[in-house]
Amino acid sequence: MFLFSKPALLNKEQHGSLGVTRPDRPFGYADSVRAIPLTLSEVATAARFYPVIFSDTTNPMPLAVVGLIDDQNLFVDDDGNWDSVAYIPGYLRRYPFALANDKGSDPDNPRMAMIVDEGYDGVREGGDLPFFINGEPSDQMKQAMEYCQNYERDRMMTVQFGQQLPKYDVLTEQVAQFTPDGDDQSRPFAKYCGVEEKKLADLSDEKFLELRKSNLLPLLYAQLMSMGNWRALMERRARRFNLTGPAVLEPLKKS
């Protein structure tokens, strides 16, 4: 499971005395990632802050790009906090919890089991937000379960989206480029999968209507609009590490 270092089925026998306390570095667990999964309902909002790309052309899942060139999340500061202005993807807001199929349940009527990342620094004995009270899920735990259930519904819709989109053949492998200050030539810095505007425009009336009726068009246009955020992300990297000129496109020197 992405970002989970020690996932475990949540249960009162094993976790009855545990809870969550806000750690010193709340988003430290995500400070070295370059992209975060998104669900369909998030794409339009996330596109205001991040370049939104797709995982591939055959089973495309939307991702918010949060880092460039190095394994450094540019939206997590040195204190482990997320940028206070930027949207926080739902995948992170549900962490350290998730839902998974309970393999021990009836295969014809599978149940969803709650997962907790025991490796998260905020999971502690006697945490401020307990998992259980008197052997029953706490109110905070019930809220977390409800959020995870809603997120799982969105995730399944996103999976269905990934199964539908390839038939329209509008995604291609692309290259992001940037022109450093003082340079007159654009240089490539990232390969990604995204909507090709010409392919979208060249769709037959029938297929374009299908996309519109399936409510996929706004998501594709949001992805296209988000491409303007590549430059903002590169400038964020330059400010973060005090980089100028061509150095903004080079890996950081390790001390």
Whole-prediction pTM: 0.92
152's tokens = 């799982």
Q: Evaluate if residue 220 carries a pLDDT over 60.
A: yes
Q: What is the pLDDT of residues 99-144, one digit of tens each?
A: 987 655 555 666 779 999 999 999 999 999 999 999 999 999 999 9
Are 177 and 189 in contact by the 8 Å Cβ rule? The answer is yes
Q: Evaluate if residue 184 carries a pLDDT over 90.
A: no
Q: Evaluate if residue 255 carries a pLDDT over 70.
A: no
State residue 43's pLDDT score: 96
State residue 215's pLDDT score: 84
How far is 51 from 66, CA to CA, in rounded Å?
Answer: 8
Q: Mean pLDDT across the stretch 12-30? A: 95
State residue 103's pLDDT score: 57
Q: Mean pLDDT across the stretch 84-91? A: 97
State residue 112's pLDDT score: 79
Least confident among 125-129, 133-137, 183-187, 225-229 = 183-187
pLDDT band at 27 (very low <50, low <70, confident <90, very high): very high
Please report, for the chain, the start and end positions of each structural domain, with discontinuous segments joined by +: 7-249
State residue 102's pLDDT score: 64
Q: Evaluate if residue 61 carries a pLDDT over 90.
A: yes
State residue 106's pLDDT score: 58
State residue 142's pLDDT score: 95
Q: What angle do CA 140, 143, 147 make, to 5 degrees?
A: 140
How far is 201 from 154, CA to CA, in rounded Å?
Answer: 28
Are 189 and 178 in contact by the 8 Å Cβ rule? The answer is yes
164's tokens = 């539908």
Q: Rg (Cα) of the chain, in Å, rounded?
A: 21
Q: What angle do CA 159, 165, 170 make, to 5 degrees?
A: 145
Are 163 and 61 in contact by the 8 Å Cβ rule? The answer is no
State residue 182's pLDDT score: 74
Written in H, E and C, the secondary structure of the chain is CCCCCCEEECCHHHHCCEEECCCCCCCHHHCCCCEEECCHHHHHHHCCCCCEEECCCCCCCEEEECCCCCCCCCCECCCCCECCCCCCCHHHHHCCEEEEECCCCCCCCCCEEEEEECCCCCEEECCCEECEECCEECHHHHHHHHHHHHHHHHHHHHHHHHHHHHHHCCEEEEEEEECCCCCCCCEEEEEEEEECHHHHHCCCHHHHHHHHHCCCHHHHHHHHHHHHHHHHHHHHHHHHHCCCHHHHHCCCCCC
- Per the prediction, the chain carries an average pLDDT of 92
Q: What is the pLDDT of residues 64-84, one digit of tens each?
A: 999 999 999 999 999 999 999
